[in-house]
Structure 1
């Protein structure tokens, strides 16, 4: 344990982990920061540095009446890999990295136009082969080091290093990845070489900049297990990491050094993310004030929120879809006709109507409704519910009920038996697996639903030997829509290649699409690509759902849309009489 002069203890309240609910007062550093990573040399050193740097701000009074109080956000899962953007593959983690603890070079406005954030400006060469970023000179890491161009170059080099296993490697496919790909012009100017391509700015909206001075000497292959991610992260964003209780909570404190030109220190003194795996408990906590924000209540929980006098429901179109991914490496799933049959044998419309209650639509491909290339007609007929067609596909693939037990076998007598995994605490995904179990039994497929803890499930589907047959998952696309990490043959061993897809014709489209800058020219190419996905059926695409969030009415200034739930957390505030 480290004890540093000037640290003070705050009194816990608000749902057990919410921390101090208090009037605005002088800024003081949370005591539990000193305990983060006690006994781990790296953590002891960095938390001491954070404490030393931040202690200089103690005693400062907040600049307005909106400052003060604590907010608790809750969901069913922890934040896998924490603040380690080098290896993180979880949406909630990405949101906390981008908007809470760290920073991206750019962010998007409500019309999806890029605007400055860590980069104060940028310019692109006339032939779109070079982009130069000018980094702000007033953003400090929470340990007092300046964020600079070397951090940006370091982050890029780590992302393109295969040893890092950066999950979104396709971001950088058209950036020059050799020694001449990046140049640090000066401490606050960095230049990148690239091939002209569409949406070249989007990776810098999605990739948070990481601290070279803390991680630069760590071998790339060791970054995933490094304590920086979940034990003692040091960011440069609007909130300072204070504490992580595994499978329970994350606590952050307002950063008093956040640049005034970016809004200065957040209004909230403290932000807590709680993990509540039992959905009934989570809803009760929201309705009784134990938590302020319930991330993604299910449609069958919405009425209780609508009936409440203290909670509002936010609803907005999102950029994600729910799928059942099929592992084509498994012999029983290797034939596309089997995967087509699994989709055609499932009444997806009936399931969507029952589970979403009007808060979403059936999906037949990977292009969501918000995207300019979306075409709702693709796959609508070819993958419509038809159990007779499904039975014919299975028979054509050699799967027949040879012994009369109701389950099909191949010529070698192997049963058409598969498991469908889903994560613990997600009742909707459990419902999908169990309904598919019942419906697919009618066409001779034996399905076993299996529940797995979230972090374990990510490992099972994302790492060799890919220990799953089918998996119910959610996928959130970037504004730069690119399925390369999912379906390109060259990425068969990468994290997101759940399906094991290997098709040269799909590869050609994935290589061509990012290079077509003109949208009118690109749209028919996107349609052809989507038709190939319908034929391949790497997933049973289930639905595009509207995003739902329950929010306590005491919480003001909240903006949530397709960019995410935490996009303006630094501007959230609570009236003084409700803290």
Structure 2
């Protein structure tokens, strides 16, 4: 270099830095002195961005051709682009990355890729097959596909209808119909039920689903070490090893006590793979990578990848049994997490997402005014509540909890927030259910701030220092927090309105926002780190509040309120045994009157379910069973993909 400086064959002006503009959706890009394309094989696009264009063929071809500027792409005969089916090469690459560094995942994802490779190159059987759909909501699926531990509605929907299978499904009239179980019979005395399992359902790694998987799932569900959130499902099934018998590879028998809804647990519990999880200690299932890193299902869609707090991606299962509908029409399904509600609406209206789960009522008009989106409305089986932690000093007396409800103008909140798309709730039985009694709590829990003040005074809470906040005799202030999950504007509104209204009766309320996964831990695990919490609860077709309010479950996940009342316990034990509806209805009314008295929650409303759906998406059914109940039948016309 010294010689060159002396000789000066050139006038050396400068050494420029290389500048490259890279779209922010492309990740894992490495560029340095070696060049711009040094790791092009590792470039990736997050799942949620795969559907930003309208045509997957064009989109994937663009991606390949850009890479082709620097590398030679083999096997580009024909049209040179991707087929209508997102091929196994995409599945394999995503799975390999998802499980990298986790021995369990590296093994199982390799097996999934190997099994699915046999379907490479197969063309879908009809013109309805092809395309990708994005469904978006504000919440992630924190427990993933692990039914052993999940306590989230969206997780349950994905387990039941997307990635895994239940033994039975319900038709639109809530009658059970075969799914993984092709048939079943119950003994004359209703003490025994026998399921006959299909012999053509494969786990996505190629192993056959059989009766041993069903028995394994049941045993884990009743094992206290598992801490199965829905353990009450099995109250009337015989616990322990004598409760289940594998008769043969596709026949399994269970012992039970007579019960009105003996089949319902099998609608709500997805079967789990014994060959993958059988050696995992029950207490370790919650943290096992199967749930969120590398789930292996047997349902219509294969897991591809999970990006925490961002997206879940699934691909059509080409091996799904033909007489259950066969391969789904969609090539690819993406669930996106968009925590800001306004962003979600914009994404729906501009085509960034195809389905917006549960827009707020004040967003409905924008959907109705759109030329590209339809609004779906249907009665649902969920209610919104503020759950009170009766373990707290301020909330231990039921008169305080009654006052919190009576001091809140729930009808005003429903009118303002739901704009007519819902009904004020006074208990846990939804209006469409045969056990619903509209008179329950209508007067006893009506809005009356004078009554609220009297209840608080009777419970010993008085403003002793004139600061506007009540104290008890020990000087403890009647100050509570109400938590809600980040991104849920409606729940934030509820907490803030209660803050304003309850201040008028001497209660200091502090709204607190918490991330969804953290909030579930705080309210569901000991110690219960909350005073009040705004939540939603999905009512099962089999009405049963045992998980919520029975004293025996005081330490279980859903015992948010800490309710302990022998009279409530007796009703919870008796009601499931009454088969005749005419006989059961007055008993249900008595039980609901006890809930009104106890006020474990401030029951706010039963809301109609609202969903925004892009008009290009066809074959969508949504009702009280859920939003994803027939996702395998959704399809997109070829000219709109």
2:88–2:117 CA contact under 8 A, matched in 1: no
Larger Rg: 2
Moved over 2 A (4+): 1-31
Distance 2:475 2:73 in 1: 65
- 1:372 deviates by 1.0
Distance 1:12 1:411 in 2: 81
2:137–2:344 CA contact under 8 A, matched in 1: yes
Distance 2:138 2:74 in 1: 22
- 1:518 deviates by 1.1
1:132–1:190 CA contact under 8 A, matched in 2: yes
2:568–2:594 CA contact under 8 A, matched in 1: yes
- 1:14 deviates by 24
- 1:29 deviates by 3.9
Distance 2:78 2:191 in 1: 53
- 1:28 deviates by 6.8
- 1:477 deviates by 1.1
Q: Are residues 387 and 14 of structure 1, via their aligned partners in 2, closer, same or farther at CA, if it must alter by over 3 Å?
A: farther
2:85–2:123 CA contact under 8 A, matched in 1: no
2:88–2:113 CA contact under 8 A, matched in 1: no
1:422–1:451 CA contact under 8 A, matched in 2: yes
Distance 2:439 2:485 in 1: 31
Give the aligned length: 579
Distance 2:570 2:71 in 1: 59
- 1:31 deviates by 2.5
1:32–1:243 CA contact under 8 A, matched in 2: yes
Q: Are residues 18 and 226 of structure 1, via their aligned partners in 2, closer, same or farther at CA, if it must alter by over 3 Å?
A: farther
Distance 2:89 2:189 in 1: 49
- 1:179 deviates by 2.0
Distance 2:279 2:583 in 1: 45
SS of residue matched to 1:139:
coil
Q: Which of 469, 487, 496 in structure 2 is aligned with 1:434? A: 496
Structure 1 stretch 308-317 or stretch 177-186: which is displaced more?
177-186
SS of residue matched to 1:318:
strand
- 1:30 deviates by 5.0
Q: Are residues 20 and 469 of structure 1, via their aligned partners in 2, closer, same or farther at CA, if it must alter by over 3 Å?
A: farther
What's the RMSD between the two structures over aligned residues? Answer: 4.0
1:364 aligns with 2:429: no
Q: How does 1:169-568 map onto structure 2 within 5 Å?
A: 169-568=231-630
- 1:100 deviates by 0.3
Distance 1:14 1:404 in 2: 81
Q: Are residues 16 and 130 of structure 1, via their aligned partners in 2, closer, same or farther at CA, if it must alter by over 3 Å?
A: farther
Distance 2:275 2:133 in 1: 32
Distance 1:3 1:139 in 2: 38
Distance 2:434 2:76 in 1: 43
- 1:261 deviates by 0.8
Q: Are residues 277 and 270 of structure 1, via their aligned partners in 2, closer, same or farther at CA, if it must alter by over 3 Å?
A: same
SS of residue matched to 2:74:
coil
- 1:164 deviates by 0.3
Distance 2:75 2:485 in 1: 30
SS of residue matched to 2:573:
helix
1:311–1:552 CA contact under 8 A, matched in 2: yes
Distance 1:284 1:300 in 2: 14
1:267–1:570 CA contact under 8 A, matched in 2: yes
Q: Structure 1, residues 148-174: CA drift from partner, whole Å, max 9, x if none?
A: 000000000000000000001110000
Structure 1 unmatched runs, 5+: none
Q: Are residues 428 and 5 of structure 1, via their aligned partners in 2, closer, same or farther at CA, if it must alter by over 3 Å?
A: closer
1:325–1:471 CA contact under 8 A, matched in 2: yes
Q: Are residues 18 and 179 of structure 1, via their aligned partners in 2, closer, same or farther at CA, if it must alter by over 3 Å?
A: farther
Q: Are residues 64 and 21 of structure 1, via their aligned partners in 2, closer, same or farther at CA, if it must alter by over 3 Å?
A: closer
Q: Structure 1, residues 32-80: CA drift from partner, whole Å, max 9, x if none?
A: 1221210000000000000000000000010000000000000001101
